[in-house]
Amino acid sequence: MTYATKPPSCDPSRVRGMSEPRIVSHYETDYGGAVKRLNLIDEKHDYATAPGFLLNGLKREQLIATNSMILLDVFLEGLGDESEPEASLKDALARGFGSLDRWRAEFIAMGKALGGGSGWVLLSWSPRDRQLVNQWASDHWHTLAGGTPTLALDMYEHSYHIDRGAKAADYVDVFMSAINWPAVQRSYDGLQR
């Protein structure tokens, strides 16, 4: 299978509080790089004849590249103008966390806890529990089994260091004010069918 980069899902010049070059770099270098890496892994190797040790490494790298592509896509889709979640999404967050404010506090705290390190904070749909959950991922391959991310906060240092230095907490606050809630709503609605 050949993977193609999707067109940018946000307007980098309109993401409040984040620099356009940083968003463009995320799209071109990180997201585009993951797509290219995934295609190279699939093009250059014959899985049927690869020795076991090579196959294990290839499949691990394939998983990392695939999840990197998906999570960066969700991250970029989640950026936009300041907005608020619609009533159905607010209700879903209240069911899972007690209130929108409790969800927000937990999501922010998780992001700030990853500051200076690397990883992801994900708002994911758990089909097993039929609810939204916050999920911590220290790498591109630590995701909720069966879960679907609806919002992704990239906490790798490249996401904030150029614009904010070591001030990861400031970046988390800016991200929270730039969530494209209509995109999160579309993702959530698609999971309810």
Residues 24 and 103 in one domain: no
The CB-side HSE value for 10 (13 A sphere, CA atoms) comes to 33
- Cβ neighbours for 89, distance < 8 A, ≥ 6 positions apart: 181, 184, 185, 188
User: In the predicted model, what is the mean pLDDT of residues 80-108?
Assistant: 95
User: In the predicted model, what is the mean pLDDT of residues 128-138?
Assistant: 91
Tokens of 137: 């991922």
Whether pTM exceeds 0.85: yes
- Confidence band for 177, pLDDT divided at 50, 70 and 90: very high
pLDDT of residue 171: 87
| Domain final position from 55, 77, 99 | 77
Quickly count: other Cβ atoms within 10 Å of residue 43's Cβ: 8
**Considering the domain boundaries, does residue 143 fall inside one?**
yes
- Confidence band for 49, pLDDT divided at 50, 70 and 90: confident
**Considering the domain boundaries, does residue 51 fall inside one?**
yes
Residues 145 and 181 in one domain: yes
Residues 93 and 148 in one domain: yes
Residues 134 and 180 in one domain: yes
Q: Tell whether the model's pLDDT for residue 44 goes beyond 80.
A: no
First to last CA, the chain: 27
Q: Tell whether the model's pLDDT for residue 37 goes beyond 80.
A: yes
Q: Tell whether the model's pLDDT for residue 28 goes beyond 90.
A: yes
Nearest residue to 15 via CA among 176, 169, 189: 176
Place of tokens 């980098």: 12
In three state form, how does the secondary structure of 19-73 look? CHHHHHHHHHHHHHHHHHHHHHHHHHCCCCCCCHHHHHHHHHHHHHHHHHHHHHH
Higher pLDDT residue, 138 or 31? 31
Residues 112 and 179 in one domain: yes
Angle subtended at Cα 186 by Cα 185 and Cα 189, rounded to the nearest 5 degrees: 80
Q: Which domain holds residue 114?
A: 87-191
Residues 44 and 112 in one domain: no
Residues 112 and 66 in one domain: no
Instruction: Count structural domains, the chain.
Output: 2
| Domain final position from 77, 102, 123 | 77
Residues 104 and 66 in one domain: no
| Domain final position from 77, 106, 121 | 77
Higher pLDDT residue, 157 or 68? 68
The CA distance from 148 to 106, in Å, is 19
**Considering the domain boundaries, does residue 99 fall inside one?**
yes
CATH number of the domain residue 172 falls in:
3.55.40.20
- Confidence band for 168, pLDDT divided at 50, 70 and 90: confident
Residues 179 and 98 in one domain: yes
Nearest residue to 81 via CA among 168, 11, 148: 11
Q: Tell whether the model's pLDDT for residue 56 goes beyond 90.
A: no
Q: Tell whether the model's pLDDT for residue 143 goes beyond 90.
A: no
pLDDT of residue 126: 93
Residues 147 and 55 in one domain: no
Nearest residue to 160 via CA among 11, 13, 26: 26
